[in-house]
Amino acid sequence: MSGTACRGRFAPSPTGPLHFGSLLAAVGSFLDARARHGSWLVRMEDLDPPREMPGAADDILRTLEAFGLHWDGEVMYQSRRHAAYRAALDELERAQHLYPCGCSRREIQAQAVAGKPAIYPGTCRNGLPPGRVARAVRIRVPDIDIHFEDRVQGRTGLNLAEQSGDFILRRADGQFAYHLAVVIDDAAQDITDIVRGADLLDCTAPQIFLQQALGYSTPRYLHLPVVVNAQGEKLSKQTHAPPVSAEHAIATLGRVLQRLGQALPDAGTLDDFWRQAIHNWQVTRIPRSRNVNEH
Ligand code: GLU
């Protein structure tokens, strides 16, 4: 590292209480930062009110504390960051990276190749076709490959034009998009190391592109395997993942460490557990896979 202290973060969306999968992302990012004597920040990604659950943000913070996952500084709330997002959009607009788009999701889906993710075909790229009304704001992407070295998953990346397409920075309902907010906030919080679930692996190349467009540096990435249930589905509110309880914190954290391939601390208090887990943390032991089973 070039003299910069390591800064990691956990960035939950408050759509529900913390479950085993989100706890694993919290623990992975925490240990990775603490093992290098770095800072660990928490950012509440409360960007999408219709998807949020009232009280979930506070509930997540209380649960992190009960598990001994103590963060540095103030929690950042994306709901209070709209001015920064607007300013970045203005900057991208001035540099002519953006265009208004009048297409609906259904129209884009209808043009997609069956079984493939819907890539925006560029209908409004050169101006809104007659009769169209601007709905969302998109960023124009060039036909280039963006690759990066993931600390666990290895070299990965994609072709922006073919596999991402021009992506949305401001949605039709007026909300700022995840890609925009995450890139601006990681830069604002001086994050050097992003540790998150491998379900976000394909988000990384578009995010690196956006970092470059805004003149930010690119952090290091480490994508952890995602916890899946017996049906192979990612644990989430939609798959009815139960909330984690700190009642048996050490046992639950032990299960997390096992999924991360780490040595298990000896019996002791929660403080002892963390001291040993931080000391034992080895990135090379994390399974190099996209998924791990819940049980
Ligand atoms: N808020 C996102 C989530 O809960 C995580 C974003 C990130 O770590 O970049 O899935």
- Counting ligand 1 atoms within 8 A of each CB, the residue from 9, 10, 13 with the most, and so the one to mutate, is 13
Find the 16 Cα to ligand 1 centroid distance in Å: 13
Hey, which residues does 232 pair with through a beta bridge?
none
What pLDDT score does 114 carry?
A: 78
Ligand 1 centre to CA of 178 (Å) is 8
How far is the centre of ligand 1, averaged over its atoms, from the C-alpha of 128 (Å)? 32
- pLDDT tops 80 at residue 197: yes
Structure-model confidence comparison of residues 50 and 3, the more confident one: 50
Ligand 1 atom closest to the CA of 199, numbered from 1: 10
DSSP assignment of 100-135, as one string? EE---HHHHHHTSPTTS------TTTTSPPTT----
| Residues at CB less than 6 angstroms from ligand 1 | 11-13, 45, 182, 196, 200
- Which domains, and CATH codes, for the chain? 7-80+182-293 (3.40.50.620), 82-170 (3.90.800.10)
Residue 61 to residue 80: CA distance in whole angstroms: 17
For 203, counting Cβ atoms within 10 Å of its Cβ (0-12 exposed, 13-18 middle, 19+ buried), the class is middle
Question: What mean pLDDT do residues 90-114 have?
Answer: 92
The mean per-residue pLDDT over the stretch 36-59 comes to 96
Alpha-carbon distance 75 to 68, whole Å?
16
pLDDT at 4: 67
Confidence at residue 158, expressed as pLDDT on a 0 to 100 scale: 95
Encode pLDDT of 246-269 as tens digits: 999 999 999 999 999 999 999 899
Residue-level pLDDT at 193: 98
* Distance (Å) from CA 89 to ligand 1 centroid: 21
Write down the pLDDT at residue 153: 97
Question: Per-residue pLDDT tens for 24-36?
Answer: 999 999 999 999 9
Q: What is the pLDDT of residues 142-167, one digit of tens each?
A: 999 999 999 999 999 999 999 999 99
| Mutation pick for ligand 1 pocket among 45, 183, 199 (CB with most ligand atoms within 8 Å) | 45
CA of 286 to the centre of ligand 1 (A): 20
What is the average per-residue pLDDT within 260-285? 97
pLDDT at position 112: 82
Ligand 1 atom nearest 15 alpha carbon? 4
pTM (whole model) above 0.85: yes
Cα(127) to ligand 1 centroid in Å equals 32
Q: How far is the CA of 269 from the centre of ligand 1 (A)?
A: 30
Task: Say if residue 131's pLDDT is above 60.
Answer: yes
**201-221 residue pLDDT tens:** 999 999 999 999 999 999 999
Pick the atom of ligand 1 nearest to 25's CA: 8
